[in-house]
Amino acid sequence: MAASVCRVGSTVGRALAKSRSPILLSLRRGQASVSYAQSLLGAPETRLTALDNGLRVASEETGHATCTVGLWISAGSRYESEKNNGAGFFLEHMAFKGTKNRPQTELEQQVESMGAHLSAYTSREHTAYYMKTLAQDLPKEVSFEAEIEQQRGVVLRELEEVENNLQDVCLDMLHATAFQGTPLGNSVLGPSDNARTLTRQDLVDYVNSHYKAPRIVLAAAGGVNHDELVTLAKSHFSGVSFEYEGDAIPVLSPCRFTGSEVRMRDDGLPLAHIAIAVEGAGAASPDIVPLMVANSIIGSYDLTYGGGKHLSSRLARLAVEEKLCHSFQAFHSSYSDTGLMGIYFVTDKERIEDMMHWSQNAWMNLCTTVTESDVARGKNALKASLVGQLNGTTPICDDIGRHILNYGRRIPLAEWDARIDAVTPRMVRDICTKYIYDKCPAVAAVGPIEQLPDYNRMRSAMYWLRF
Amino acid sequence: MCLKCETCKASSDWYDISNHDIVGFSYLLEQLINNINKNLFNQGCKRFFAILTLNSNVPHEGIRLAHTDVKIPDFSDYRRNEVIDPKKSSQESSDSRRAFSYLLTGASTVVGVYMAKTVVTQFVSSMSASADVLALSKIEIKLSDIPEGKNMTFKWRGKPLFVRHRTEKEIATEVAVNIAELRDPQHDKDRVINPRWVIVLGVCTHLGCVPIANAGDFGGYYCPCHGSHYDASGRIRKGPAPLNLEVPYYEFPDDDTVIVG
C-alpha cells in the first residue's frame, strides 16, 4: 500500500518536474527530479548579441525570480603600468557614487528601495560592476564623478585591512615573484604611494584607454529577457567609444614566469601561509581541463573537514594522520595566455618542512603514478564543483561575463562535461609532467617560516631520481 | 595608550592614533615617541624617559610593510640572456637552459670525482713503502767482479745474498745429482737461470743462521749453528735444515750484470 502510494507519488512528481515548476518539484522530495545528464542538456542557452560599437550583450534566462546584471570589462592590473598600478582598484571605489544626473544620495535611495545589492570586483585581467536585484528595471550607467579624495582614504584603509588577510598577501606575493618584472606581477591594490598620489586625470586616462566597447560585456542571468536587455543596452551604451586615442590599442604581451621565492618571515604570527606554484596553462589552452582534474585529485582540506583519515585525497589523509597542516588547497589561476598552478597551505611552524615534502610528493605522484581510480574521482569532483558553483544568478552571471571575455562565447556545462570525460590517466600524467616535472617553482611564504626548506631543496623535490 | 615617565613621574595624556592612515608601525612609533617627548618636556621632565606599554591585541610587536609596497628587486644582472626580456615567455627556452645547467653539473661532478680519487690515492699511497726502501729492494751486481769458484755476499733487503760463480766441475756435479736422494728435491736447472751463476739467499732454512761459503762436505755451504750442509746449488744435503736455500727473483739484463729483486 505504502509502496504503491510512493510509486504514484513519484510518477506524478516526475510529470510535474518536467513542467519545471519550482513549487511542484518539492513533491519529489528525497529523489532526484532530473538526472545529471538531463540537467546538462536541459540548461538554458546563453544568448549573445553584439552591438554596433562592439559591446557584447549576453544573458541566460534561468527562470529565477531575481537577476544579476552587470558589466564585465577586459581591464585589470595587468593593463596597468608601475605608475598607475592601483587605478583600476581605485576606480572600483568610485563606482556607484552618483552621476551628473543623479547625485549619490538619490542613486543610493533608488537602489536601496529596490532592495538591490551593488557590487564590483577587480582582478588582474577583469573588472566587473554588477547589481543583484529583482527582475525589474536595471541600473543605468556607472559614474566616476565622485569625490576622489574621499575615496583615497577608503583605499588606504583597505590596504591596511588586507594585510590581515594573509591568504591574499601570500598569493599576491606569489604573483609578484612568479611574474616579476611583468604587469601580471602587479597587485590589484597597487602600492600605497599610488593610492596617495593618483589624480582624477590618471583615472580618466585609465577609463579612456581601457573601457572600450569591444572589451565590455553586459551580462545578465536570472529572470531576464534577452531582447529587452539588448534594447536597454542600445539606449544606454551605444555611446561607449570603440576607438583608441592615436590608435594605441593596448596589446597584452606574454608575461615571463620566473622560478623564484619570496619570504616574509614574521615569527610573531601564529601560522605560516605558504604557496608553491609552477607556470600553468592559459584559459584558452586545451591543457586546462586535465590540469583542473589533476588539482581535483589533490583537492583541498581544512580542519573542519569531517572525513578524517578516510578522506579520498591522499594529501588530505596525510594531513589528518600526520597533523601536517591546518588547511591546504590546490589552485589554478589562469589568465589569458599563462597561469599559476599550485598548492597553498596554512600550517604550524614545526610542520612546514613535512607539509612541503608531501605536497611536492603529491605532485610527483600526479606525474608518475596516478591511477584510473584517482582520475575517476578527480573527474567526478571537478564536475560536481563546476555544477555546484553555478548556484545562483550572480555566479551564473559572473561565469557568463568571464567566459565571453576569455573565450568569446559561453562554454556550456555539457561541453565542460565532455571535455572532462575525455581525460585519461595517461593524459593527466603527460600533461602534469609537461607542467610540473623538473620545473622551477615559485614560492611565497608569510609568517614563522624558518623551517621552510632552502629553494634548492624544493627545486630538487620537483623530480624523482627513480625516473 | 597611557604613558608615564619613570624618573620624574610626569605622565602624559592619551594619544589618539586612530587617525593615522599610515601603513607601517615604525612610523607610528616614531610619531608617538616624538609626541611623548614633547609633552614630557613641557611638563618639566628633564630626562625623557618614557616606558611604552602597548595594549595591542596582537601578541607581538612586528613591523610589516604593506605587501604591495614590497618591490621584488630587478635581477636582470643575474639572468641568462634568454630570460632577460619580461615580455617573452620563459617556456620556450626552459629545456635548453635546463640542459645547459645539467651538462655543467654533470661535467663538474665527473671532474670532482676524479680529483677526489686522485687526492685519496695520494694519501693512501703515502702509507706504502717509501722510495729509499723501494730503492733497496733491488740490487744490481756486476758479475765480472766475481772470479770463478768464488762466492760473494751482498746485503740485500736486510739479508745476505750469495752470488757464486761456479766452475764447470761444480756445475757438472750438481746436475748429475739424483733428485730422489734429496730432502727437498729440486733439479739444479730449476734453481738457476744461467748455470754458471748460483744466486741464493744466505739464510739457513733451519733456524736462520748465515752458512759459510766453500765449506761443508758437499762443496757448497756449511751452517755452523746446527751443522747443515748445502751443495754448490744451495740444496740441503745433510743436517737439520728442511729446505733448500731460497732462490730470489733475478734477471740478467746483460751478460755482465744481474738485477736481483
Domains A45-238 and A261-461 share a fold: yes
Averaged pLDDT for residues B96-107:
96
Work out the mean pLDDT of chain A and round it to a whole number. Answer: 86
The set of cell numbers assigned to B237 is: 744435503
pLDDT for the residue numbered A29: 53
Nearest of B91, B95, B97 to residue A257 by alpha carbon: B91
**How large is the greatest C-alpha to C-alpha distance in chain B, in angstroms?**
133
Q: Which residues pair with B231 in a beta bridge?
A: B219
ipTM of the prediction: 0.77
**Res. A463 pLDDT band, cuts 50 70 90:** very high
User: With 70 as the cut, is the pLDDT of residue B3 above it?
Assistant: no
Measure B130 CA to nearest chain A CA, in Å. 45
Sequential DSSP letters for A338-353: -EEEEEEEEE-TTSHH
Instruction: List chain A residues with CB under 8 Å of B61.
Output: 268
Probe site for chain B from A175, A187, A256 (most B CB atoms < 10 A): A256
Neighbours of A308 (CB within 10 A): 10
Superfamily of A261-461 according to CATH:
Metalloenzyme, LuxS/M16 peptidase-like (3.30.830.10)
Q: Could you tell me if A16 and A31 are in contact, meaning their C-beta atoms sit under 8 angstroms apart?
A: no
Residue-range domain boundaries for chain A: 45-238, 261-461
d(CA A277, CA A443): 6
Worst-scoring range by mean pLDDT, A5-14, A170-179, B88-97, B128-137? A5-14
pLDDT for the residue numbered B52: 35
d(CA A271, CA A448): 7
**pLDDT tens, B27-77?**
666 666 667 667 766 665 544 333 333 334 444 555 667 888 888 999 999
Sequential DSSP letters for A83-112: TTTTHHHHHHHHTTS--SSS-HHHHHHHHH
Tell if the CB–CB gap between A256 and B23 is shorter than 8 Å.
no
Residue in chain B closest to A269 (alpha carbons) equals B60
Tell if the CB–CB gap between A264 and B58 is shorter than 8 Å.
no
d(CA A401, CA A220): 8
The set of cell numbers assigned to A238 is: 551605444
In degrees rounded to 5, what are phi and psi of residue A131? -140, 135
pLDDT for the residue numbered B54: 39
Averaged pLDDT for residues B130-151:
85
Tell if the CB–CB gap between B90 and A157 is shorter than 8 Å.
no
Measure A117 CA to nearest chain B CA, in Å. 29
Torsion from C-alpha of A186, A188, A190, A196, nearest 10 degrees: 160
- Integer distance in angstroms from the first to the last C-alpha of chain A? 64
Q: Nearest Cβ partner of B68 from A153, A189, A439?
A: A189
**pLDDT tens, A427-460?**
999 999 999 999 999 999 999 999 999 999 999 9
Q: Nearest Cβ partner of A192 from B62, B69, B72?
A: B69
Say if A387 is an interface residue toward chain B (CB within 8 Å): no
Per residue, the 3-state secondary structure of chain A, as one string, reads CHHHHHHHHHHHHHHHHHCCCHHHHHHHCCCCCCCHHHHHHHCCCEEEEECCCCCEEEEEECCCCEEEEEEEECCCHHHCCCCCCCHHHHHHHHCCCCCCCCCHHHHHHHHHHHCCEEEEEECCCCEEEEEEEECCCCCCCCCCCCCHHHHHHHHHHHHHHHCCCHHHHHHHHHHHHHCCCCHHHCCCCCCHHHHHHCCHHHHHHHHHHHCCHHHEEEEEEECCCHHHHHHHHHHHHCCCCCCCHHHCCCCCCCCCCCCCEEEEECCCCCCEEEEEEEEECCCCCCCHHHHHHHHHHHCEEECCCCCHHHCCCHHHHHHHHCCCCCEEEEEEEECCCCEEEEEEEEECCCCHHHHHHHHHHHHHHHHHCCCHHHHHHHHHHHHHHHHHHCCCHHHHHHHHHHHHHHHCCCCCHHHHHHHHHCCCHHHHHHHHHHHCCCCCCEEEEEECCCCCCCHHHHHHCCCCCCC
The set of cell numbers assigned to A60 is: 541566460
**Res. A12 pLDDT band, cuts 50 70 90:** low
Q: Which residues pair with A263 in a beta bridge?
A: A445
* B21 alpha carbon, distance to own chain's centre: 66
Q: Nearest Cβ partner of B86 from A157, A177, A182?
A: A182
Instruction: List chain B residues with CB under 8 Å of A441.
Output: none
The angle, 0 to 180 degrees and rounded to 10, between the axes of the packed helices A314-321 and A352-368 is 160
Averaged pLDDT for residues A28-39:
70
Q: Which one from B20, B60, B226, B229 is the annotated catalytic residue?
A: B226
Q: Could you tell me if B83 and B94 are in contact, meaning their C-beta atoms sit under 8 angstroms apart?
A: no
Q: Could you tell me if A212 and A71 are in contact, meaning their C-beta atoms sit under 8 angstroms apart?
A: no
Q: Which helix (H) or strand (E) holds A308?
A: none
Q: Nearest Cβ partner of B23 from A160, A176, A185?
A: A160
HSE of A337 in the Cβ direction (CA atoms, 13 Å)? 15
Tell if the CB–CB gap between A180 and B72 is shorter than 8 Å.
yes
Q: Which residue has the higher pLDDT, A363 or A138?
A: A363
* A344 alpha carbon, distance to own chain's centre: 15
**pLDDT tens, A363-392?**
999 999 999 999 999 999 999 999 999 988
Q: Could you tell me if A142 and A102 are in contact, meaning their C-beta atoms sit under 8 angstroms apart?
A: no
Torsion from C-alpha of A190, A194, A195, A200, nearest 10 degrees: -120
Size (chain B), residues: 261
The set of cell numbers assigned to B16 is: 589618539
User: With 90 as the cut, is the pLDDT of residue A161 above it?
Assistant: no
**pLDDT tens, A269-293?**
999 999 999 999 999 899 999 999 9
Per CATH, which fold does B139-260 belong to? Rieske Iron-sulfur Protein (2.102.10)
Averaged pLDDT for residues B115-131:
93
Probe site for chain A from B22, B64, B67, B90 (most A CB atoms < 10 A): B67
Domain A45-238 has CATH 3.30.830.10: yes
Worst-scoring range by mean pLDDT, A188-197, A317-326, B95-104? A188-197
Strands A442-447 and A261-265: parallel
Tell if the CB–CB gap between A160 and B66 is shorter than 8 Å.
yes
The set of cell numbers assigned to B186 is: 729440486
pLDDT for the residue numbered B2: 45
Residue in chain B closest to A251 (alpha carbons) equals B87
**Res. A136 pLDDT band, cuts 50 70 90:** low
Averaged pLDDT for residues A195-206:
87
Averaged pLDDT for residues A177-201:
91
* Residues above pLDDT 70, as percent of chain B: 76
Say if A163 is an interface residue toward chain B (CB within 8 Å): yes
- At position B193, the amino acid (one-letter code) is I
What DSSP state is assigned to residue B197?
Answer: E
Nearest of A178, A60, A74 to residue A125 by alpha carbon: A74
Measure A267 CA to nearest chain B CA, in Å. 8
Work out the mean pLDDT of chain B and round it to a whole number. Answer: 81
What DSSP state is assigned to residue B51?
Answer: B
User: With 70 as the cut, is the pLDDT of residue B100 above it?
Assistant: yes
Tell if the CB–CB gap between A338 and B89 is shorter than 8 Å.
yes
The set of cell numbers assigned to A444 is: 611565497
Residue in chain A closest to B84 (alpha carbons) equals A256
Averaged pLDDT for residues B200-220:
91
